[in-house]
């Protein structure tokens, strides 16, 4: 973001109003969650400094573990200067318990430590929702914490100094996590009273105006969220098959990678909630998943299996992890499914990476930062064809702004009939639901349930693609 010059001085200091406006623009364009876990950071001034940096970078939660100095300590307050009011702080003696709590909230735990096997910070998985773990001034992160962290990163430094101060290291790590979300994304540039978004390359701008077949079906589009999870185990062949029998032409699913490079239709990072197994799905080989069942009865399907099983159905695919990004283009090549998928993610970085790997147009949703900008009435270029948003932010103004930029508005996850009707009255272009029968009935009552044949996919399943029975 830049601020216009005044009085002939292009580099004058900003006044307080301009600083507030500048920070507000970045804040509104920031969608990823950021949290901190302090593992026995004992010096009060370090804790206060970390708290102040965390507030500045928009972190929302702070776990104080071990013998970390309390926020009530006078020296912590002297350094934090009251910024602790912007954080939800939780005292948790065990850093392992805090890491598990962060993971349960959907945060990736990345420990910042000079440890064997650690990645340099610029290569660490800091995209999306992250909890940064910072260790003691002398001993660093405990071995128990490092064992449960999703990743470990270190900050490269070319000097002979042994290590950075922990408060400085925390600030650098937070800045890098935010930079991942902002770099090359739809971030506003500030002016007096109006913010305008720009993109980095002509290639992105050109992609905005490419027509994609995925959206050529009569609107509003009905999406079966995770196959229609109200009528079968989520992301299962049974749920998808039920939706197809109801007449759904659009199915929504999630994609996560196994440790040996297979792309599975699975939502959570871990197997615990919906299967009879535990632990991260990304730590398992494909063969290990063969005996695992969703809701005790359903195998976890491959994304390739879904595309091959229903070659005339369109799939909205949410990329849930970094490992799956490079796998999806190969799946689309093998199945010829380029024109019948829309790729989305809560991580703008994942979307950018995927876009750089494909050599032909694919329907994509815009990034969370782009959605945030539209909510703030910012002008922007949009490297995507649809805005997929929760119902709580879907107003008539948002719909109008998105559609004026050529974006279809798809709303998730709407299971209440009255809310479906309200959104349809507002003019949304699509609704994602677990209650597939209810949405079908609402659209039918309004004369908006499609009676014409399903759209042609233009793609054929690969001979290697297993064709499963929908009712299995």
The catalytic residue positions are 225, 267
Task: Provide the token pair at 404.
Answer: 């004026």
Q: Which residues pair with 132 in a beta bridge?
A: 36, 110
Residue among 124, 185, 112 at smallest CA distance from 347: 185
Cα dist from 99 to 16, 149, 202, 377, whole Å: 38, 7, 42, 37
Rounded (to 5) percent helix, strand, coil in the chain: 35, 20, 45
End-to-end distance of the chain based on CA atoms, in angstroms? Answer: 53
Cα 385 to Cα 182: distance, rounded to the nearest angstrom: 20
Residue among 220, 232, 226, 215 at smallest CA distance from 255: 226
Cα 176 to Cα 170: distance, rounded to the nearest angstrom: 10
- Indicate the DSSP class of residue 367: P
Q: Which residues contact 252 (CB under 8 A, 6 or more apart)?
A: 223, 224, 225, 226, 227, 315, 316, 318, 412, 432
Cα 383 to Cα 204: distance, rounded to the nearest angstrom: 6
Cα 344 to Cα 334: distance, rounded to the nearest angstrom: 20
Residue among 111, 113, 368, 125 at smallest CA distance from 269: 125
Cα 200 to Cα 314: distance, rounded to the nearest angstrom: 31
Task: Provide the token pair at 15.
Answer: 């006044």
- List, as one string, the DSSP characters of 106-138: TPEEEEE---TTPEEGGGS--SSSEEEEE-BTT
Do 60 and 87 form a contact (C-beta atoms < 8 A)? yes
Question: How do beta strands 341-344 and 363-364 pair?
Answer: parallel
Cα dist from 313 to 84, 166, 179, 451, whole Å: 50, 52, 37, 15
Half-sphere exposure of 204 (CA within 13 A, CB side): 21
Note the maximum CA span of the chain: 73
Bond preceding residue 158 cis, omega within 30 of 0: no
Residue among 391, 455, 465, 457 at smallest CA distance from 428: 391
């Amino acid at each position: 973001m830049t601020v216009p010059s005044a009085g002939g001085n292009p580099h004058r200091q900003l006044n307080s109003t301009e600083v507030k406006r500048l920070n507000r623009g970045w804040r509104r364009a920031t969608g990823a969650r950021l949290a901190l876990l302090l593992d026995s950071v004992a010096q009060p001034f370090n804790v206060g400094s970390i708290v102040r940096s965390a507030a500045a970078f928009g972190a929302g939660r702070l776990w104080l573990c071990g013998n970390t100095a309390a926020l009530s300590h006078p020296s912590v307050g002297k350094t934090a200067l009251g910024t602790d009011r912007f954080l939800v702080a939780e005292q948790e003696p065990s850093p392992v318990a805090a890491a598990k709590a962060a993971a349960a909230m959907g945060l990736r735990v990345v420990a910042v430590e000079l440890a064997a096997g650690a990645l340099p910070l610029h290569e660490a998985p800091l995209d999306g929702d992250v909890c940064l773990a910072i260790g003691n001034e002398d001993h660093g992160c405990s071995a128990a914490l490092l064992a449960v962290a999703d990743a470990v990163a270190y900050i490269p430094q070319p000097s002979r100094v042994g290590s950075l101060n922990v408060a400085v290291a925390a600030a650098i790590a937070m800045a890098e996590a935010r930079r991942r979300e902002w770099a090359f994304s739809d971030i506003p540039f500030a002016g007096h009273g109006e913010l305008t978004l720009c993109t980095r390359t002509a290639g992105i701008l050109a992609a905005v105006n490419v027509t994609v077949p995925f959206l050529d079906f009569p609107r509003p589009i009905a999406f079966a969220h995770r196959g229609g999870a109200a009528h079968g185990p989520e992301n299962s062949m049974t749920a998808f098959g039920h939706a197809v029998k109801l007449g759904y032409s659009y199915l929504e699913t999630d994609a996560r990678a196994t440790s040996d490079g297979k792309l599975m239709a699975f939502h959570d990072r871990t197997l615990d909630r919906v299967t009879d197994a535990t632990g991260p799905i990304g730590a398992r080989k494909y063969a290990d998943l063969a005996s695992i069942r969703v809701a005790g009865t359903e195998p976890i399907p491959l994304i390739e299996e879904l595309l091959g099983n229903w070659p005339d159905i369109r799939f909205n695919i949410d990329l849930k992890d970094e490992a799956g990004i490079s796998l999806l283009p190969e799946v689309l090549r093998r199945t010829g499914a380029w024109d019948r998928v829309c790729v989305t993610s809560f991580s703008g970085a994942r979307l950018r990476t995927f876009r750089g790997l494909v050599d032909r147009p694919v329907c994509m949703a815009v990034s969370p930062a782009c959605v945030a900008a539209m909510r703030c009435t910012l002008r922007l270029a949009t490297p995507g064809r649809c805005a997929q948003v929760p119902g709580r932010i879907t107003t008539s103004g948002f719909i109008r702004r998105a559609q004026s930029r050529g974006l279809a508005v798809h709303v998730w996850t709407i299971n209440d009939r009255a809310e479906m009707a309200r959104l349809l009255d507002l003019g949304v272009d699509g609704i994602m639901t677990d209650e597939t029968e209810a949405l079908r009935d609402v659209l039918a009552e309004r004369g908006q349930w499609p009676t014409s044949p399903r759209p042609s996919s233009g793609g054929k399943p690969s001979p290697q693609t297993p064709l499963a029975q929908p009712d299995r």
